[in-house]
Amino acid sequence: MYALADCNNFFVSCERAFQPQLEGKAVVVLSNNDGCAVARSNEAKAMGIKMGTPFFQLRPLVESGKLVACSSNYTLYGDLSERVMRILSGTLPGIEKYSIDEAFFSLDGIQPEDYRAVCVDLIRRVRRGTGIPVSIGIAPTKTLGKVANHFAKKYPGYRGVCVIDSDDKRLKALSLTPIDDVWGIGWRGAPKLMALGVQTALDFTRRPEAWVRSRMGVTGVRTWKELQGIPAVSAEREERRKSICTSRSFAEMITDKAELRLRVSDFAGICAQKLRSERSAALTVGVFAHTNRFRDDLPQYYPFEIEHLDTPQNSTQAIVAAALRSLDRLFREGYSYKRAGVVIEDIVAADAVQLRLFESEEEREMRRRQDEISAIMDKVNKPGSNLLRLATQRPGHYADGIRRDFCSPLFTTDWNDLLEVKG
C-alpha cells in the first residue's frame, strides 16, 4: 500500500505557523511581485476567491480587513518543507518527495489494521514539530492515494486519514471524483474526456484500455490502470522532465547590463541546483530578457538566445557561464527589461553523460573541480539563498529585488528574524 502525505494549504499554513493570529481568517499568498493569488486558506476559498485571481481585484478586500494578503516567502516555505520531510523520512522508509508539500511513502511492513493509527500519529508529530497540518491518503496505487488524500482533506470525519483498501471503497471514491481532479489527467486532458462523456474517474475506468490508449497514449493507460488498483507508476513516477525554467518579473524595469547579468546569474544558479537535485545534467542553456509589453510608450524587444554545451553539465559554474554568454549576445542598449529567465533543455541523467572522445585531461579536471564546488554549495546554501555563490551572483536571498509588500519575516533561516517571545 502507498500513502501520500500532503500539507494542507501549505503556503498559508507556513504563514500561520508563526502568526497564529491568522488562524480562522481568510488568507491568500501572492505570487512573485504580489501579482496574483497562488494559495488560499479554506476561509478564502469559501469567499469565492479563485486560484490566480489578480491582486488588484483583491486589494479592496484587504483594505477593508476582510482578507489578509501575504507575499510569497519561498525561503520560509522551503525550510519548513525540509523539516516536514525529515519527520516523515525519520518515521517511515522509502519516502519519495513529490513536491514542496507532498511525499509518497510505502506502508510495507506495517499491518493493515495499524495503517490509520500510524498515520494519525505521524500527522500529530508533524503538526507538533512544524505547526503544519497534514492529510494522508492510503491506497494500493499512487494515483488512488491522491484520490484518498482529497477525501482526507475535504471531510473532517476522516481525521486527516482516508484509506481505500477495498474495491467498494475504490468505486465509491471514483464515482465522487471529477475527471479533472484526477492526477495525470489535469486541465488539458479533462475537457477532451468530458466532451466524450467521461465526467468522473469511474467513467474513465469503465472505458476499454484500447479506447484510452488511442486517445491518451501510454500515459493515459498508466493512469487508467492506477485507478483500477494496478500499480503502473514507478518510483521515478514520471519521465525525466524535458526542461527547467527559472524566470522573474522585476519590481522595477532594468536598463543596466551589469544588473541584468546579476539576475540572470541567479536564475542560472537556481536551474543548476535543480538539475543536481534531480540527478540530471543539461546540454542546452537558453536566456530571454523581455521588455514590458503593457508599456506601449516604450520600445519593445523579446529576444531569446541559446548556448549549447560540449557535454551535458549541472555545475553552477558551467550553467551560469553559458547563460551569461547567451545574455551577452541578446542584450541591447536602450531597452527597459521587465522580465528575464533561464531555460535549461536537452536534459539527461547525470550518470549517463557521454563524454567527448578527445576531451583533454585539463578539461576533465576542471569539470571534476566544478562538480565538487557545486556539491559544497548545495550543502552550505539554505533553500532560497545563495550564501555561497559565484562572484557574478547577488548576495542575499534569490527573492531580493522582487516586490513583496506583505512579506513575513524569515522566522527559521535568518538570525535577525527569529521569533521574539515576551514574558
**Count of domains in the chain?**
2
Structure confidence at residue 47 (pLDDT): 95
CATH of the domain at 250: 3.30.1490.100
Judge if 216 and 255 occupy the same domain: no
Specify the range with the lowest mean pLDDT, choosing from 83-92, 97-106, 355-364.
355-364
Question: Could you tell me which residue, 391 or 140, shows the higher pLDDT?
Answer: 140
All three cell numbers of 248: 522573474
Residue 63 has pLDDT above 50, yes or no: yes
* Beta strands, E only, 255-366: 280-291, 304-313, 337-349
Are residues 134 and 6 in contact, defined by beta-carbon separation less than 8 angstroms?
yes
Same domain, 162 and 221: yes
Q: Residue holding cell 491506497?
A: 139
Angle between helix 74-89 and helix 115-130 axes, rounded to 10 deg = 140
Which residues make Cβ contacts (< 8 Å) with residue 290, sequence separation at least 6? 301, 302, 337, 338, 339, 340
Which helix (H) or strand (E) is 123 found in, with range?
helix 115-130
Distance CA 5, CA 103 (A): 5
Backbone angles phi, psi at 89, to 5 degrees: -70, -25
Going by pLDDT thresholds of 50, 70 and 90, the confidence category of residue 103 is: very high
Q: Which three cell numbers stand for residue 311?
A: 557535454
Q: Is residue 114 predicted with pLDDT exceeding 80?
A: yes
Tell me the sheet residues that pair with 138.
Answer: 3, 163
How far apart are the C-alpha atoms of 354 and 333, rounded to whole Å?
39
Phi, psi at 359, each rounded to 5°: -65, 135
Which of these ranges, 209-218, 219-228, 345-354, has the smallest mean pLDDT? 345-354
Q: What is the arithmetic mean of pLDDT over 263-289?
A: 92
Q: How many CB atoms lie within 10 A of CB 133?
A: 17
Determine the distance from the C-alpha atom of residue 16 to the mean position of all C-alpha atoms in its chain, rounded to a whole number.
20
pLDDT at res. 21? 94
The pLDDT, as a whole number, for residue 268 is 94
Residue 10 lies in a domain: no
* Residue 123 within any structural domain of the chain: yes
- Based on the fold, state whether residues 338 and 269 are members of the same structural domain: yes
Residue 384 reports pLDDT greater than 90: no
Output the 3-class SS for 139-202: ECCHHHHHHHHHHHHHCHHHCCEEECCCHHHHHHHHHCCEHHHCCCCHHHHHHHHHHCCCCEHH
Give the tens place of pLDDT for each residue, 173-215. Answer: 999 999 999 998 877 789 999 999 999 999 999 999 999 999 9
In tens, the pLDDT along 81-96 reads 999 999 998 877 678 8
Same domain, 363 and 252: yes
Q: Which pairing describes strands 280-291 and 96-99: parallel, antiparallel, or unpaired? A: unpaired
Question: CA-CA distance, 107 to 392, in Å (whole number)?
Answer: 46
Asked whether residue 58 is assigned to any structural domain, the reply reads no
Residues 266 and 345 in one domain: yes
Q: Is the predicted pLDDT of residue 72 greater than 50, yes or no? A: yes
Query: Domain ends where: 227, 255, 290?
Result: 227
Cell numbers linked to 144: 488512488
What mean pLDDT is predicted for residues 259-280? 91
Lowest mean pLDDT among 138-142, 212-216, 235-239: 235-239
Q: Please give the pLDDT value at position 400.
A: 55
Last residue of a domain, one of 227, 253, 278: 227
Check whether 44 has a pLDDT greater than 90: yes
Residue 140 to residue 123: CA distance in whole angstroms: 20
Quote the CA–CA distance of 135 and 153 in Å, as a whole number.
Answer: 6
Tell whether 247 and 218 lie within a shared domain.
no
User: Could you tell me whether strands 161-163 and 134-139 are parallel, antiparallel, or unpaired per DSSP bridges?
Assistant: parallel
Distances (CA, A) of 175 to 138, 148, 180, 408: 18, 13, 13, 41
Query: For residue 253, what are the domain limits?
Result: 243-380
Residue 247, SS3 per DSSP: strand
Instruction: Please compute Rg for the chain using Cα positions.
Output: 23
Same domain, 223 and 278: no
Whether 399 shows a pLDDT value over 60: the answer reads no
Domain match, 359 and 247 both: yes
Instruction: Give the model's pLDDT for residue 253.
Output: 92
**Residue 346 belongs to some domain of the structure:** yes
What is the per-residue pLDDT for 414?
Answer: 76
What's at 391, amino acid-wise? Answer: A
Instruction: Categorize the per-residue pLDDT at 306 as very low, low, confident or very high, splitting at 50, 70 and 90.
Output: very high
Q: Are residues 282 and 353 in the same domain?
A: yes
Q: 74 in a domain, yes or no?
A: no
390 band by pLDDT with thresholds 50, 70 and 90: confident
Query: Are 218 and 261 within one domain?
Result: no
d(CA 104, CA 88): 10
Given a cut of 80, whether residue 127 has pLDDT beyond it is yes
The CA distance from 286 to 280, in Å, is 17
**pLDDT of amino acid 236:** 45
Q: Does any domain span residue 416?
A: no
Domain co-membership, 255 together with 313: yes
> pLDDT tens-digit profile of 321-337?
999 999 999 999 999 99
pLDDT band at residue 238, thresholds of 50, 70 and 90?
Answer: very low
Interval 14-40 mean pLDDT:
92
Domain assignment present for residue 148? The answer is: yes
- The set of residues, in sequence order, having a beta carbon less than 8 Å from that of 404 and lying 6+ positions away, is 33, 34, 71, 72, 73
Task: State the pLDDT at residue 101.
Answer: 93
Lowest-pLDDT range of 9-13, 35-39, 321-325, 400-404:
400-404
Average pLDDT, the chain: 88
**What three-state secondary structure class fits 352?**
helix
Residues 205 and 278 in one domain: no
For residues 245 and 350, the answer to whether their CB atoms sit within 8 Å is: no
Cell digits of residue 274 = 535543480
Is 420 domain-assigned?
Answer: no
Q: How does residue 237 score in pLDDT terms, banded at 50, 70 and 90? A: very low
- Residue 34 clears pLDDT 90, i.e. is over it: no
Name the band, by pLDDT with cuts 50, 70 and 90, for residue 320: very high
Rounded to whole angstroms, how far apart are CA atoms 48 and 44? 7
